[in-house]
Amino acid sequence: QVQLVESGGGSVQAGGSLRLSCAASGNTHSGYCMGWFRQVTGREREGVATIDSDGSTTYRESVKGRFTISKDNAKNTLYLQMNSLKPEDTAMYYCAGSYGYESPCYSDYARFLEVRGQGTLVTVSS
């Protein structure tokens, strides 16, 4: 059993930065793909970024060049550095992962990864 807990959300003005963290606990050694997705109430989830066990990363087009996904295996922590934030980035952000099998691992698939945290809210004002 793996548990994921996000932190680091908040309110910023457009152009600002935030760093999200996702602490994983439990049987994390079987992890293959980890990622971030986001959701605005009433809208579909959007995959944002993924990173696989080899460190390969993917991003949705609208965040390329602004967001960076990374992980610290020693700390069992996933990160999402978000720069040049825009009002359209406002959403609840969730980290997610696949454990025990080699799931697909690309940005849009992040919303389907089966282990998920509770989310952290990011609000970007213009």
Beta bridge partners of 33: 52, 98
Return d(Cα 87, Cα 106) in angstroms, integer. Answer: 24
Q: How far is CA 57 from CA 40, 42, 124, in A?
A: 24, 28, 25
**Predicted local distance difference test score (pLDDT) of residue 12:** 98
- Terminal CA-CA length for the chain: 40
- The length of the chain, given as a count of residues: 126
**Predicted local distance difference test score (pLDDT) of residue 76:** 94
Return d(Cα 120, Cα 99) in angstroms, integer. Answer: 22
What is the token pair recorded at 124? Answer: 């970007």
Residues of the chain with pLDDT under 70: none
For 52-78, write each residue's pLDDT tens digit.
999 999 999 999 999 999 999 999 999
